[in-house]
Amino acid sequence: MEIKGKVALITGAGSGIGNAVAVELAKRGAKAVIMVDISDQVQANADAVNQQANREVAYSYQGDVTEEEFRKSVFDDAEAKHGLVSICIPAAGITRDSLSVRMDKETGKAKIYAVEKFQLVVNVNLIAPTYWALEMVSRIAQDRFAKGLKKWGPDEGLMGAVILIGSVSSQGNKGQISYAATKSGLEGVASTLMKEAIFYGVRCGVLHPGFTDTPMVRALGKEYIEKYILPDTQLGRLIRPEEIADAICFMISNSAITGELWADAGWHPNA
Ligand code: NAD
């Protein structure tokens, strides 16, 4: 599937991987790159993408991806200005790391991971990306219906692609009970959506990054990274966001790729 000429939407584009994907899609000739984030950094990032691309291609939208009204308004506006969105990378994500059961040595009581935290991580990392993807698929479905088109056929060329952002933590990682649950949850979403959305000509897959050099990982601290992460990677360094962006573009543009792709620098942590 050609990236050139397409309208792409990325959430979490105010930082790290989302921003790197926006840069790469603009470089590869996307017609418009819709950059969504809760942080006002997304505006500056969009300006930088335009400057680098030497054309007006990136448009920023600031808001919370868990809000339905915001999601619909972004799609409405993007569609009115640039046409149907056909590439969706819902990359916004958060961590709320803590061991699932911790002993309080003073009271002798065990503390369980707070359910409110779990629900927040599920809302941002699992439900929101799913609904941003479904929003795109639903609009492509409506467009096809309006044109009298039924089941998609290969002669038409592909209509769109969704790449969800998983994680090596989807295989389990100490201290990441909620995060790991959401990332493995996305595997179930993708394997269902890839079967359903192809009816409308939309492919769906999951890219699982290993530890990538972004604020999310840098927040762990240099010492933690050197002691607990780098020894379990083959590269011996954090992955660059541009390397993840390249893998995502590969998944979008090579239509034979389905399912899951691991870009994890050989991450094999001990149990
Ligand atoms: P990051 O913290 O640098 O960027 C995440 C962005 O998401 C931030 O700009 C933040 O403002 C935005 N965001 C968070 N909650 C939001 C909300 N409710 N509404 C709108 N925007 C919101 O992190 P990153 O490393 O670039 O991560 C991007 C994605 O990649 C995430 O889904 C993350 O889980 C995944 N991932 C990252 C790594 C890594 O090593 N960095 C590894 C595997 C997976």
Cβ < 6 A, ligand 1 pocket = 11-12, 14-18, 37-39, 64-66, 91-94, 124, 165, 167, 209, 211-212, 214-217
Determine if residue 209 is left, alpha or beta; phi over 0 gives left, psi from -120 to 50 gives alpha, anything else beta. Answer: beta
pLDDT for 198-224, tens place per residue?
Answer: 999 999 999 999 999 999 999 999 999
pLDDT score, position 268: 84
Q: How many angstroms does the Cα of residue 182 sit away from the middle of ligand 1?
A: 13
Q: How many angstroms does the Cα of residue 110 sit away from the middle of ligand 1?
A: 30
Residue 30, beta-bridge partner list: none
Q: How many angstroms does the Cα of residue 224 sit away from the middle of ligand 1?
A: 19
Nearest residue (by CA) to ligand 1, atom 3, is 16
Beta-carbon count within 10 A of 28 CB: 17
CA distances from 179 to 60, 90, 95, 165, 167 (A): 27, 16, 6, 12, 9
Q: Whose CA is closest to 60, among 11, 20, 5, 132?
A: 11
Choice from 214, 228, 264 to test ligand 1 binding pocket (greatest atom count within 8 A of CB): 214
d(C-alpha 115, C-alpha 117), whole Å: 5
pLDDT score, position 271: 72
d(C-alpha 171, C-alpha 84), whole Å: 35
- Please state the pTM of the whole predicted model: 0.97
pLDDT score, position 270: 77
Beta strands 202-209; 32-37: pairing state: unpaired
pLDDT for 140-177, tens place per residue?
Answer: 999 999 999 999 999 999 999 999 999 999 999 999 99
Residue 136 Cα to chain centre, angstroms: 14
Which of the residues are catalytic? 179
